[in-house]
Amino acid sequence: MSNKNINIVIGGAAGQGLVTIGQLLSKAITRAGHHLLVTQRYMSRVRGGHNTYAIRMGEEKPLGGTESIDILAALNAETLDKHLEAVSEGGLVVAGADLDTEGLNALRIPYEELASKPLFHNTAMLGVLGRTVNLEPAILEELLRQTFGKKGDEVVEANLEVLRKAYAWVADQNHDFSRTLASSDPKGRMMLNGNEAIGLGALAAGCNFVSFYPMTPSTGVAMTLIAKGAPLGLQYEQVEDEIAAMNMALGASYAGARALVTTSGGGFALMEEAVSLAGVSETPIVCVVVQRPGPATGLPTRTEQADLNLVVHAGHGEFPRAVFAPATPEDCFYLTHRAFDLAETYQTPIFVLSEQYLADSYRDVAPFDLDDLPEVARPLLEWEGGEYKRYALTDDGISPRLIPGFSETLVRADSHEHEENSYITEDKAVRVAQNSKRLRKEAGLFEEVIGPDRYGADEPDALMVCWGPTLGACLEAMDRYEGDKSLAVLHFKQVYPLREEQFMDFLTSAGSVIAVEGNATAQFAQLIARDTGFVIKDRILRFDGRAMTWEYVLKGLSDIL
Amino acid sequence: MVSIEEYGEFKTAWCPGCGNFPILKSLKQALAERGLAPHDIIISSGIGQAAKLPHYMRCNMFNGLHGRSLPVAQGIKMANPQMHVLVTSGDGCSYGEGGNHFLSALRRNMDLTVLVHDNQIYGLTKGQASPTSARGHVTKAQPEGNRSDGFNPVSTAVAMKASFVARAFSGEPEHLVSVIKEAMAHKGFSLVDILQPCVSFNKVNTYAWYKERAYILKDHDPEDWAAAMTLSEEFGERIPLGVIYRADKPVFGHGGRLAELAYAKNDLKAVLQSYI
Ligand SMILES: Cc1ncc(C[n+]2csc(CCOP(=O)(O)OP(=O)(O)O)c2C)c(N)n1
Ligand code: SF4
């Protein structure tokens, strides 16, 4: 058990309120100045089943989830059955007095004594947990006021009363858990999950249009945009299917919106034809794909990194694109912002490839500096350069993009092969010229590729190569590794295109190279092999639907090294 | 005054005698009579012979994918509510590949005008049955005759209380012009299903076949839903032309032009604050 952080796991059935407890506790932890990382596991059902909400709080920023539990908060007996084994030595169980916790280091909450109605049991649990990890009661009181304020003073007072009783009750208990964490960064940090951070990054880039069809775990991106953007003028529509979502967004983008679509694997598969339309019609679009395990409906609420191939190869025909893979909410914000700029500059689809683990993982995040963000490219509203040709042949492949309706100049977007002035053609020379023009944009996109970050030893004995949110587990595994080899981690937050000169030296100078990925076939390693010829043979792959953890990586390392 | 010439003349890939020609001409005529210049309108179309129409006139256009003209048109309208947005496509495109979008667009009721060139056949792919082909219609792909019932777009739209439903015939261009104008004047979703003989592949629903059956409605009250429902079922011995149904309904859409929308920094800062 690390003394720098505490892993609290709240378990129960859907509908029992574990997310509410988890979120209030997380927010209080953030406000108290601790670092935080949340991993949510849930099932595809609204009631019942078995779900967990794991909060890793720390003096230092936790990098990823962990498997060993310091405090297990059980809302039902199943939680004890499933997770007792993972409770670390000296760890604590918190459960209602009705559950069997004989022989455990446990706080058995007398719900009846603390709360007048079952409705308030969750507040009792919250108070017990808050006191156990030494949160100032005032922080939780303030949160309860904010949360229940709309329901009236009576409800607020009742909750506050339960909270106070719970705090007092814990103080009288003999339990064997006494760890206090110093709060590291005092005030003003946001609590955000990956989906929210993508939504905010989009808003910061001026995104003002979203069309979507709900699909877990991507829906939160659209929900964030609607909740925060619609009051500012953002237009949105929950459409009939993903095909409509993508086509509608392209229509909006053509007419001057900064458009985003969001979906997951199956929905994205439906969007593919229109991804290709974005390519040929040269219409900017930011497409957020939040992965879950497939094939088809797969494990709808779990996590995986197995849609890389799908996204990198999406659409028929050839056209430029870029694919970002954020590791953290900060990445989600900045990379989504950047995606809008690239989409507009290069007039092509740009992808943000996230996954369920990151989508639902809350972190404490320093407020983003909006003043420091680069400007996002804009299309033209007027044209003064003589005859306007939407698909003018240029050296860099970028044709001036005019928005229709702001002047008398006509703007024509087309899905066929077309002349510079958009008229449909089958002329072979025009075809070659236009196709080459579109592909010339790749050179510009290539110049702008964000290279991988490297952590750890120079010329290491072993180099772990990862992408997206798998970074945290790799870094923590590297920190905790006690063997005699020197280790390093190479992390890609842009997974396509790949720019060899940014990383080949790292690959060739390492003793051995290990791909660490959340899929069964090492898709990213294969992409590297395809584009560079460098074959990564060793692999640590996880595809059981759960997020990569440092324990999993360490185990893999010990098998390989 | 806008003259029809402003919309230009282009070489087309349509077969001589195709029912698409009068539709193109009538559309230009209707636009000119309404005083709309090429830059005042945007046409969204799908794929098919009919869907090539915006390639044969000067105007803003988004010529997208098969079946997807409606989502694109609605996106355009949401991004720029000031533009007149029209959709023009075939029956396969609009009711087959785009069937789900058609139903949803009726419900959404944005201010769009949708012209469906209904030739009861797939033209571009050389003569397979379309959703509006009648049961028994023999084609190379349906050698034993079409094994499904024909889709009736007009009765479907009336049943769903779409806000404007009309039928026209490309063999009656004057009437067609007046219907398109009325459809464009209507605030909300307007559907004009246009009977369009395909001289190359549809040997059943020919000019003569339509001429014998089609008649222009005289004393029908389009606000009478029950009467409209009954009329919409009339497709056989007699085929009524004109506005079949009209209703005042909430129109989707609001707000300004998204190309001009920029958020104030302070608004965004307040959004970030809400996460603390
Ligand atoms: C996704 C997709 N499927 C099939 C096609 C091939 N296709 C092109 S046009 C068409 C049918 C056209 O029929 P209709 O919409 O009635 O128009 P018409 O040619 O008769 O005017 C088909 C099936 C396509 N372009 N895209
Ligand atoms: S195939 Fe039919 S619909 Fe197409 S252009 Fe020829 S006649 Fe017209």
Q: Residue A180: what pLDDT?
A: 75
Residues B180-191 have a mean pLDDT of 98
Give residues 38 to 57 of A whose Cβ lies within 8 Å of B.
Answer: none
Burial-class residue A299 by CB neighbours within 10 Å (0-12, 13-18, 19+).
middle
A194's enclosing H/E stretch is: helix A194-204
* Cβ(B89) – ligand 2 distance below 6 Å: no
Indicate if the pLDDT at residue B191 is higher than 50: yes
CB A306 within 8 A of CB A291: yes
- Residue A217 — φ and ψ, nearest 5°? -100, 25
CB B105 within 8 A of CB B95: no
Contact B76/A at CB under 8 A = yes
Q: What is the mean pLDDT of chain A?
A: 95
Residues A456-477 have a mean pLDDT of 97
- Residue A333 — φ and ψ, nearest 5°? -65, -55
Rounded Cα–Cα distance for residues A368 and A373 (Å): 9
Q: At A1, is the pLDDT very low, low, confident or very high (cuts 50, 70, 90)?
A: very low
Query: For ligand 1, atom 13, which residue shows the shortest CA distance?
Result: B122
Q: Minimal Cα distance from B68: which residue of A?
A: A247
Residues A198-207 have a mean pLDDT of 98
**What's the full length of chain A, in residues?**
561
Rounded Cα–Cα distance for residues A519 and A303 (Å): 10
Contact A305/B at CB under 8 A = no
**For residue A212, which residues of chain B lie inside 8 Å, CB to CB?**
none
- Mean pLDDT lowest among A65-69, A244-248, A397-401, B158-162: A65-69
Residues B163-184 have a mean pLDDT of 98
**For residue A188, which residues of chain B lie inside 8 Å, CB to CB?**
276
Are A255 and B267 a contacting pair at CB < 8 A? no
Q: Residue A4: what pLDDT?
A: 84
Residues B148-157 have a mean pLDDT of 98
Residue A229, helix vs strand vs coil: helix
Please confirm whether the linkage preceding A217 is cis (ω < 30° from 0): yes
Contact A188/B at CB under 8 A = yes
How many Cβ atoms sit within 10 Å of the Cβ of residue B10? 12
Are B79 and A406 a contacting pair at CB < 8 A? no
pLDDT in tens, A259-318: 999 999 999 999 999 999 999 999 999 999 999 999 999 999 999 999 999 999 999 999
Contact B107/A at CB under 8 A = no
Q: At A9, is the pLDDT very low, low, confident or very high (cuts 50, 70, 90)?
A: very high
Q: What is the DSSP string of B12-62?
A: --SPTT-THHHHHHHHHHHHHHTT--GGGEEEEE-SSTGGGGGGGSSSEEE
How many Cβ atoms sit within 10 Å of the Cβ of residue B219? 4
Q: At A223, is the pLDDT very low, low, confident or very high (cuts 50, 70, 90)?
A: very high
Are B276 and A188 a contacting pair at CB < 8 A? yes
Q: Residue A185: what pLDDT?
A: 65
Are B79 and A196 a contacting pair at CB < 8 A? no
pLDDT in tens, B247-265: 999 999 878 999 999 999 9
pLDDT in tens, A242-269: 999 999 999 999 999 999 999 999 999 9
Shortest Cα–Cα distance, A58 to chain B (Å): 18
**For residue B54, which residues of chain A lie inside 8 Å, CB to CB?**
412
Mutate to test the interface with A, among B52, B110, B258 (most CBs of A within 10 A): B258
Residues A448-476 have a mean pLDDT of 97
* Cβ(B118) – ligand 1 distance below 6 Å: no
Q: How many CB pairs under 8 A join A and B?
A: 189
Contact A182/B at CB under 8 A = no
Which ligand is in closest contact with the Cα of B22?
2
**For residue B256, which residues of chain A lie inside 8 Å, CB to CB?**
233
* Cβ(B56) – ligand 2 distance below 6 Å: no
Shortest Cα–Cα distance, A454 to chain B (Å): 30
Contact A333/B at CB under 8 A = no
Q: Residue B158: what pLDDT?
A: 98
Q: Which residues pair with A466 in a beta bridge?
A: A491
More confident residue, A47 or B72: B72
Query: For ligand 1, atom 10, which residue shows the shortest CA distance?
Result: B48
pLDDT in tens, B96-109: 999 999 999 999 99
Q: Minimal Cα distance from B272: which residue of A?
A: A367
Rounded Cα–Cα distance for residues A493 and A495 (Å): 6
Indicate if the pLDDT at residue B243 is higher than 80: yes
Rounded Cα–Cα distance for residues A444 and A360 (Å): 34
Contact B220/A at CB under 8 A = no
Contact B54/A at CB under 8 A = yes
Q: Tokens in use for A475?
A: 């870094």
Sorted by sequence, the CB contacts under 8 Å of residue A409 that are 6+ apart come out as A382, A383, A388, A402, B39
- Residue A548 — φ and ψ, nearest 5°? -60, 140
Indicate if the pLDDT at residue B116 is higher than 50: yes
- Mean pLDDT lowest among A47-61, A242-256, A491-505, B75-89: A47-61
A288's enclosing H/E stretch is: strand A285-291
Q: From ligand 1's centre to the CA of B92, what distance in Å?
A: 6
% of chain A beyond a pLDDT of 70: 99
Q: What is the mean pLDDT of chain B?
A: 97
Residue A515, helix vs strand vs coil: strand
Give residues 227 to 266 of B whose Cβ lies within 8 Å of A.
Answer: 255-263, 265
**For residue B271, which residues of chain A lie inside 8 Å, CB to CB?**
200, 203, 228
Rounded Cα–Cα distance for residues A265 and A215 (Å): 9
Give residues 352 to 391 of A whose Cβ lies within 8 Å of B.
Answer: 367-368, 370-371, 379, 381
Indicate if the pLDDT at residue A183 is higher than 80: no
Indicate if the pLDDT at residue A157 is higher than 80: yes
Rounded Cα–Cα distance for residues A129 and A146 (Å): 19
Indicate if the pLDDT at residue A329 is higher than 50: yes
Indicate if the pLDDT at residue A392 is higher than 80: yes
Q: Which of B47, B119, B202 to mutate to test the pocket of ligand 1 (most atoms within 8 A of CB)?
A: B47
Task: Say how many Å lie between the first and final Cα of chain A, rounded.
Answer: 24
Are B65 and A273 a contacting pair at CB < 8 A? yes
| Parallel, antiparallel or unpaired: strands B84-90 and B112-118 | parallel
Rounded Cα–Cα distance for residues B70 and B103 (Å): 10
Indicate if the pLDDT at residue A197 is higher than 70: yes
Q: From ligand 2's centre to the CA of B19, what distance in Å?
A: 7
Please give the ipTM for the structure prediction: 0.98
Contact B36/A at CB under 8 A = no
Of A209, A237, A243, the CB nearest to B68: A243
Q: Tokens in use for A175?
A: 């339990």
Of B76, B265, B268, the CB nearest to A255: B76
Q: Tokens in use for B272?
A: 């970030």
